[in-house]
Structure formats: C-alpha cells, structure tokens
Amino acid sequence: MTTILKNLITQRQFEYTLKEGRPSQAANLLLVAIFVYLLSQLGVATELIVLWVIGHILVSGHRIRMMFTILPKIGHEPIDHKRLYKQTRITFWLMGSLWGIAFLTITLLGQDAYTNLVLAVAIGYCGSGILSAAPSFMAYAAMNTPIVASIYLGFILQPTQATPIAIVIATLAFGFIFSSAYRFSQHFIGNVTRYHQIENAKQQVIHVLGRASEYRDEETGDHISRMSQNAYLLSKKIGFNEEEALRMRDASSLHDLGKIGIPDHILLKPGKLTPAEFEVMKTHPCIGHHILGDAQESATLELAKRICHSHHEKWDGTGYPEGLTAEQIPLEARIAAICDVFDALTSERPYKPAWSHEAALNYIIEQKNRHFDPELVEAFIAIHPERQQYKITEPSSPRTPQTC
C-alpha cells in the first residue's frame, strides 16, 4: 500500500507541475527577452547570448512537449510517472542553471542598480516557482538552488556590488520562500495521501457490499470479480479512460446488491421459479437502488445505483423493472448486463451446468438487438483476447462456507 501511495503522489505531483506550468512558461519566455536586452547592453558577446537563448529554447521546448503530449495521456495510457518526474527535475535544474548564469553575469558586469535588479528578479522567480513546482520540494529545489547559489557567488566575487542590508534582505527572503515551498509540498502530499486513503476506504466498503450480496446467493465465489473485470475491459474498449473504467469496475460489483432483500426460499431455490416467485425476484433491482439511497456525493455509488436499477433492462424493451428500450437504458447498465449474463452462463449453478465460452458468446450474439446493445456486443466479442491477457479467473466450483 505504501509503494502504491508513493507512486500516486508522484503522479499527482507530476500532473500538477505540468498543468500549472503553462502560464509560467509564457512568463519565462518574456523574461528571457528582457534579459537578452540587458546582457547585450552590458557588452556580453552575441555568440554567448545566443547560446544562452538556445539553451532556454531547448529546455522550455522539452517542458512544453511534456505538457502537450504527455499530460493528455495520463489516465488513458500506461505512463512511467517516476521516470517522467525525474526528467522534470532535470529540466528544472537546467532552467535554474541558465538563469543562474545570467544573474551572475549581470552582477559581475553591472553596477549597483543592476545588482538590485537581479536580486529582485531572483526573489520573484523563486517565489513564483511555488505555484508551478512546489508540489514536489525536490523539483522546486532543483530549479531554484542554482539561482540562489549564483546570487551569493556574485556577492562573494563582487562584494562592493551589494550592501550588507541587501544581503540580509535577500537571505531572509530566500529563507522564507524556500520554507514556504517546503510547507506547500508537505501540505500537497498530505492532501493526496488523505484523498487516496479515503478512496481506498470507499473501495473497501464497495467490495464488502458486493461480497455481502454474493454470499446471499449460491453463485460461485468469483462471479463478481470476473463480471466486474469484464466490465472494466469492455468500458476501456468503447472509449472510457482509465479512471472511468476503474469506477465502472467497482460500481458493477454491486449490480446484484438488491438480492440481499430477496427471501431465501426464492433466492436459493434450486429449481425454476413460479411466476409469483419470479415477480418477487424482479424486485431486486429496485431494492439495490433503494439500499444505495442518496449516493450523490460518491460518483462510484451513484454509478452503482444506475447499474443496480437497470442491469436487467433489455434493448428491445422486454426487461425490468421499467421496460426501458435502447439508449433509454444507461450505458453503464448495458455494459453490466452483457458481462453479468456472460458470466452467469459460463458458471455452474444449482439449476444448470456451466456453458462453454463459445456457446455463451453465441448466445450473446443471438441476443444482439434483443437483449443487448448491438455495438456493445461487437465490442464484447473483441475483448476476448484481452480477457486472456488479464487472466480473468474462470468459473470455479460453488462456494463452501468459510470457517473463522
């Protein structure tokens, strides 16, 4: 759990750094233009100024590339966040080093006014860095340590350029800014940690509810995990991003929560239900919907409510409890319906043997435009190789009571 949480914090820090860095990039390029003018006024060779500008262009270009090519992929494609975060720290260090070169040059070649200008810009640059880099203090330090080092190196090499009061003010300012950046970083990490602890607790509650509904039935112990994993894969196949697909996986595990309210003599009956008994069984979607109640503050539970209520609706309108048709049925419930029926067919139950995967797929295809959304049927068939890749557990024997 600790390793996972560290990875998640690194990911959030990386996302924040890229998103909040966009306005700072524009300001950085404007500042480069101003310093080009100052360096040229002080007689620095044009070739050296050009090299300095090229360095900024390369470093800024790399960061812009990460912003506009990598950031959109987060949540959609597997990304090595740790490697990219390391690249971000290196990028910041190079940026700070380039500014340090400029600050030191102006301090050594300029007069008192230039030194005061460099001090003001350096303090402002380090302060503004809190907004874009401070979520990770290591990244912030990588960018701003070379800048501060260049300021004090300038004081050492040109002691007459700065008054003692200026040195004291600069020291206090840098100390305050760096301590603020560190506190910001710790606050950010604390918030991310608490957020994921809360999310983990929610997932555990959802898992417990799902297992509770499963233990009321004589279905196999792995039904929910197989069904929800299929829902995850099918969701990804039709365009859900990673976060949406994971939410679909968790929410779909509660699809039969309402069975908790079905009497044992009906729920556990080994033979065919009578018409009256089946009418009682058909109430379980509404029971599940009612159990979840007002779940608006949780996106996962709100999604689970829709799945609970509508996963027995059919594309042609012959389902229950409301007889919805086609796209009147929530998309998430249509996804859950296919995954639930497929796993029910391929699982052994007291009233039937397990079907083969081929027979179950053929049934799903036959029910296209009747029971199931035709587009989802095609997508479900297409995820068969992915199901093998993810090694979804095959149906096992009926569950036996667990001992404590």
DSSP, residue by residue, 176-241: HHHHHHHHHHHHHHHHHHHHHHHHHHHHHHHHHHHHHHHHTS-S-TTHHHHHHHHHHHHHHHTT--
Q: Are residues 261 and 381 in the same domain?
A: yes
Each residue of 308-337: b (16+ CB within 10 Å) or e?
bbbbbbbbeeebbeeebeeeebbbbbbbbb
Residue 331 lies in a domain: yes
Domain boundary among 170, 185, 200: 185
Residue 34, classified by CB atoms within 10 Å of its CB into exposed (0-12), middle (13-18) or buried (19+), is: exposed
Range of the domain at 6: 2-185
The reply to whether 227 and 148 lie within a common domain is: no
Q: Does any domain span residue 194?
A: no
pLDDT digit string, tens, across residues 305-329 = 999 999 999 999 999 999 999 999 9
* pLDDT given for residue 22 in this prediction: 65
**pLDDT, tens digit (0-9, with 9 covering 90-100), for 214-247:** 666 655 457 777 888 899 999 999 999 888 898 8
Residue type, 366: E
Q: What is the DSSP letter of 77?
A: S
pLDDT of residue 265: 85
Residues 223 and 313 occupy one common structural domain: yes
Does one domain contain both 311 and 266? yes
Residue 385 maps to which CATH number?
1.10.3210.10
Residue 201 maps to a domain: no
Q: What pLDDT is recorded for position 210?
A: 67
Q: Which amino acid is present at 101? A: I
State how many domains the chain has: 2
Q: What is the pLDDT of residue 395?
A: 42
Specify if 202 maps to a domain: no
Check whether residue 156 and residue 268 sit in a common domain: no
395 occurs within a structural domain: no
Examine residue 399 and state whether it is found in any structural domain, yes or no: no
pLDDT score of 391 = 46
Residue 146 falls within a domain, yes or no? yes
Looking at the fold, whether 384 and 285 belong to one and the same domain comes out as: yes
Q: How many residues does the chain have?
A: 404
Whether 325 and 262 share a structural domain: yes
- Tell me, what's the pLDDT at 85? 76
Segments of the chain with pLDDT less than 70: 1-23, 70-79, 81, 208, 210-221, 294-297, 350-351, 385-404
pLDDT in tens, 61-74: 887 777 777 666 66
- Model pLDDT, residue 214: 64
Residue that terminates a domain, selected from 185, 208, 243: 185
Residue 238 within any structural domain of the chain: yes
> What is the DSSP code (8-state) at residue 352?
B
